[in-house]
């Protein structure tokens, strides 16, 4: 596995595990020590091994689905085809984001330049600066639910009552929050309500990642300004209309509630923030849930926080290995229907975010 330089690494979440046992009671330490010890080194090496063909297949599958959906709607531009196409295209744009997430973790391809090239491509066409997101996401993993976690503004404080989340999702689907989403993916997360501070993750990373993030953002802007111009030049106003409806519209509307609801399902309405076993949540979902909210095995979120070096296509096996050894017995693992009932429940007192750890990555 490629080693990341200081200021670039995603740390395994060791809270409640032997690496931090001295900070916890002896009982807690004994109860959680097996989280890291339970997987033999040879198994962990196998689980973290990258397979270029499987990553290529995942990227190709998503791009092919998008091409088919856009192609059918482009050539049959009628409302009864366009409306379902826009909804389905939005789910696949979300799948592109999940692939960019894997690239941000260096988990698509072992060859760094290829990993970043593909990650930047699938991110760019979806309006996401993968290199900026890598910087932001480091803080989420390394300081989960602490004051500097940049994602707390999105998933913290739940449950807040059914009406609260419904209003948020309605604003999302109307496109009213899209500017906040893309500001986040450009390195400017929303203000943390608990601390009244907006994190600026570029201040906590290596110089190399800072420079790469800035370059990548310009590439994303150039694509989304240039693509409509090219489409108009090639096909005139009819082609431009189709592009805006079939590509820009779902990016501004459909994908917004998906991103919010997935984030809330992954981390919202939890009660114990001291370990990733309970500060994150694995959502067991059927085909529809995986299509809309959890493409590319992103529903295995507890496992992802425990072992972020495991690529997405090995997360189901990691889940099975951990479950077989009893690691997940007390973890936040539940059907997504139960999760939705929790996050839409009446308001209750939210757990207090953890203080920033003394050590930095």
pLDDT tops 50 at residue 168: yes
Examine residue 10 and state whether it is found in any structural domain, yes or no: no
For 120, the token pair is 């930047």
Cα 7 to its chain centre, rounded Å, is 20
CA dist., res. 335 & res. 355, Å (int): 31
* Domain assignment present for 152: yes
**Which is nearest to 251 in space by CA: 165, 154, 179?**
179
Please check whether residue 122 lies inside any domain of the structure: yes
What does the alpha-carbon distance between residue 284 and residue 298 come to, in Å, rounded to a whole number? 10
**Position 258 in a domain:** yes
Does residue 359 sit within a domain? no
| 279 and 270 Cβ atoms separated by less than 8 Å | yes
Short-list 146, 140, 219, 158, CA closest to 186: 219
**Measuring CA to CA, how many Å separate 234 from each of 230, 240, 243, 245, 357?**
6, 9, 12, 17, 54
User: How many domains are there within the chain?
Assistant: 1
| CA–CA dist 171, 178 (Å, integer) | 9
- Is residue 173 in some structural domain? yes
Helix intervals (H) in 106-151: 112-124, 130-142
Query: Does the pLDDT at position 24 exceed 70?
Result: no
Q: Which of the pair, 155 or 296, is modelled with greater confidence?
A: 296
Tell me what the mean pLDDT of segment 290-298 comes to. 98
Strand bridging mode 197-198 / 282-284: unpaired
Per the structure, the complete domain to which residue 113 belongs is given by 18-343
Structure confidence at residue 286 (pLDDT): 97
Please provide the average confidence, as pLDDT, over all residues in the chain. 86
In a domain, 12, yes or no: no
CA distance 98 to 294: 9
Distance between CA 333 and CA 303 in Å, rounded? 10
Instruction: Decide if 80 is inside a domain.
Output: yes
pLDDT attached to residue 358: 45
pLDDT tens digits along 184-211: 888 776 544 454 455 566 666 777 778 8
- Whether the pLDDT of residue 249 is over 90: the answer is yes
Rounded distance, CA 126 to CA 130, Å? 10
Segment (H or E) for 228: helix 207-243
In this prediction the pTM is 0.87
| pLDDT value for 189 | 60
């Amino acid at each position: 596995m490629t080693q990341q330089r200081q200021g670039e690494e995603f740390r395994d979440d060791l809270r409640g595990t032997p690496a931090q046992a001295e900070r916890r009671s002896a009982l807690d330490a004994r109860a959680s020590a097996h989280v890291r010890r339970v997987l033999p080194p040879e198994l962990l090496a196998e689980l973290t091994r990258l397979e270029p063909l499987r990553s290529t297949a995942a990227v190709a599958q998503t791009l092919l689905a998008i091409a088919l959906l856009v192609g059918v709607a482009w050539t049959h531009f009628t409302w009864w085809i366009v409306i379902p196409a826009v909804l389905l295209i939005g789910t696949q744009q979300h799948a592109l984001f999940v692939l960019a997430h894997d690239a941000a973790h260096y988990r698509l391809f072992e060859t760094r330049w290829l990993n970043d090239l593909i990650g930047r491509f699938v991110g760019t066409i979806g309006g996401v600066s993968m290199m900026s997101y890598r910087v932001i996401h480091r803080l989420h993993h390394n300081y989960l639910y602490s004051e500097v976690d940049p994602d707390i503004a999105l998933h913290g404080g739940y449950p807040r009552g059914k009406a609260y989340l419904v209003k948020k999702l309605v604003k999302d689907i109307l496109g009213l929050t899209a500017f906040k989403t893309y500001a986040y993916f450009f390195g400017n997360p929303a203000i943390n309500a608990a601390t009244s501070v907006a994190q600026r993750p570029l201040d906590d990373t290596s110089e190399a990642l800072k420079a790469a993030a800035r370059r990548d953002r310009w590439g994303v802007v150039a694509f989304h300004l240039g693509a409509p111009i090219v489409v108009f030049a090639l096909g005139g106003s009819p082609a431009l209309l189709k592009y805006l409806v079939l590509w820009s519209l779902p990016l501004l509307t459909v994908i917004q509630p998906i991103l919010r609801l997935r984030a809330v399902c992954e981390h919202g309405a939890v009660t114990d923030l001291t370990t990733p076993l309970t500060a994150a949540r694995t959502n067991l979902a059927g085909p529809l849930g995986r299509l809309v909210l959890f493409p590319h095995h992103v529903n295995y979120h507890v496992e992802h926080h425990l072992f972020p070096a495991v690529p997405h296509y090995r997360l189901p096996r990691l889940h099975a290995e951990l479950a077989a050894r009893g690691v997940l017995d007390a973890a936040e693992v539940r059907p997504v229907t139960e999760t939705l009932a929790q996050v839409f429940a009446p308001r209750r007192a939210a757990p207090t975010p953890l203080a920033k750890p003394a050590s930095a990555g």
